[in-house]
Amino acid sequence: MAKVAFLGLGVMGYPMAGHLVKAGHEVTVFNRTTTKAEAWAKEHGGSFGATPKEAVQGADFVMCCVGNDDDLRQVCIGENGAFDGMEADTIFVDHTTVSAKVTAELYNTGKAQSIAFVDAPVSGGQAGAENGVLSIMCGGDEASYEAAESVMQAYGRSIKRLGESGAGQLTKMVNQICIAGLVQGLSEGLHFAEKAGLDGRAVVEVIAGGAAGSWQMQNRYETMIDDEFEHGFAVDWMRKDLGICLSTADEVGASLPVTALVDQFYKEVQKQGGGRWDTSSLIKRLRAMG
């Protein structure tokens, strides 16, 4: 078993760090709100550091799941950042969804200090983190990935290296692009069923096993019908991710017309006060239109 530091105890990081303890690893955590780190340590029996630099002392692996590019940069190379406390040949695994630019920056900064950096964004939401069944998309040096894979197995069901540094983040962008279109399509289908006087649940029972079926349909249709949107990834975070997708698309010359449109639909949901609703709340926008 390894000595592991986990930086960031949000709705994803908190249970992910807990799974590491259950897998037998020695875990030290850091969170900007120290009381949350204290609560985690009390619940799981691990320890916590007051700063990222303190938390990573002596760690073999450092896992991180924070909010955005700025958060990640601050945790890694800000004042009392993790890179200042990491020993040579330590592996840093970033589970945050961030831009490929900051990934390249931190990969190169780490390499200059003999620190390996693996980008490893996750999919599966809060439920996937709590149940330890996340999909993890990785980029980075093959040897570093192979060493970190066994640690990630504590909370990952599907873990795969897609290529060199940045490939994991680019794959996560593909994931979010696909989800955006799927959720909009499901929202329109359920909205149409409502307007047409159909029983939405009965409709999904028939179509879910066919070509229209998806994870979103299986896991979100009932809460969408019931107008409940506190069950997953927040609209605010989805807009952050789609912004990364759209800016990267401009850089690589990809056309994302549906993604751009759905991003604006999510902006309308935010204006409805739904920034913290889960992403299936796109149907709320349709219902508000009458």
| The one catalytic residue among 172, 240, 267, 284 | 172
CA 150/CA 169 separation, integer angstroms: 20
Can 101 be counted among the known catalytic residues? Answer: no
What are the residue numbers of the active site?
172
